[in-house]
Amino acid sequence: MVYFRFDWEDPSGLKPSILLVLHFLPLMGTFLFDKIIFGPVISRRLGVSLGINLLPVDTKVCSFDCIYCECGWTPDKYTKKVVLPSRDEVKQRLEEKLQEMADNNQLPDVITFAGNGEPTMHPEFAGIIDDTLEMRSRYSPSARIAVLSNATMLHKEEVFRALLKVDDNIQKLDSAFEETIRLIDNPRGRFNLGKVVGQLESFKGKVIIQTMFLRGSWKGVDFDNTTDQEIDAWLELVKKIAPSQVMIYTIARDTPADTLRKVSFDDLERIAKRIRGEGIAVQVSE
């Protein structure tokens, strides 16, 4: 389990920090985002996306340790004090970037919270969402605001309420079986799939479910979350959650584990056909 200690330097210039014990693992071809505001990049799911990273720029902080994460492994322990960007700093950097993009007539399709871990873990996440809504209205009113999350912080009321305000509330659900999630997503600390699904249901449709489909082995265990058994159970949970959309995709970049295999487009389309058959919109990305 990862423990956090937040230190607040000055009420007039909040600079939250985390006490972290750094234990670096080889990242292979994976990477970290080295800025608070990054891009814009072309997202295979979202279009021209301006990214916001609320985590440190030199290490990953996440409540999951997914074996396929493009940012590499989540450190097991932390010894080094790592500073998170403050709410004021995020707002300032975002305003500067949006002003620059407006001046160049190159405004984004979407402003996306992603980065080096789980964005909803930031202690000022709710306030940062409010600031982003304000900046969006001022500089780029047609842009959507998206949050890519692993759904582990939905029990926090302020996080849940903030996610209801964004256009694309995108939450991860990689399997209907907790043992599969523990293998490929590797939750840190306590995790209860039933509670997470209940929280996803509480959005009452104002949520997008995002699922990574892949095959391979990890720690001597073979897995494939595209089998009929997996898809049957997963689809039942999706129907229960009743999202506005489902996004399904597979590996497209380097992964920290080298025993993984991407799923073919035909396999993704086979899954998508079943989702469409339930009257749920689906987006497929290879």
Cα separation, 83 vs 59, whole angstroms: 10
Residues 127-182: pLDDT tens digits?
999 999 999 999 999 999 999 999 999 999 999 999 999 999 999 999 999 999 99
Residue 47 to residue 219: CA distance in whole angstroms: 36
Contact 70, 254 (CB under 8 A): yes
Q: Which residues, in sequence order, are CB contacts of 82 under 8 Å at separation 6+?
A: 17, 18, 20, 22, 56, 58, 59, 61
Domain ranges of the chain: 31-55+86-285
- Ranges in the chain, pLDDT < 70: 1-29, 44-45, 78-79
User: Both tokens of residue 255?
Assistant: 């992964």
Q: Are 52 and 10 in contact (CB under 8 A)?
A: no
Whole-angstrom Cα distance, residue 105 to residue 286?
A: 30
29/253 Cα distance (integer angstroms): 8
- Record the pTM: 0.88
Predicted local distance difference test score (pLDDT) of residue 76: 76
| C-alpha pair distances (Å), 74 with each of 1, 63, 78 | 11, 8, 10
Architecture of the CATH domain 31-55+86-285: Alpha-Beta Barrel (3.20)
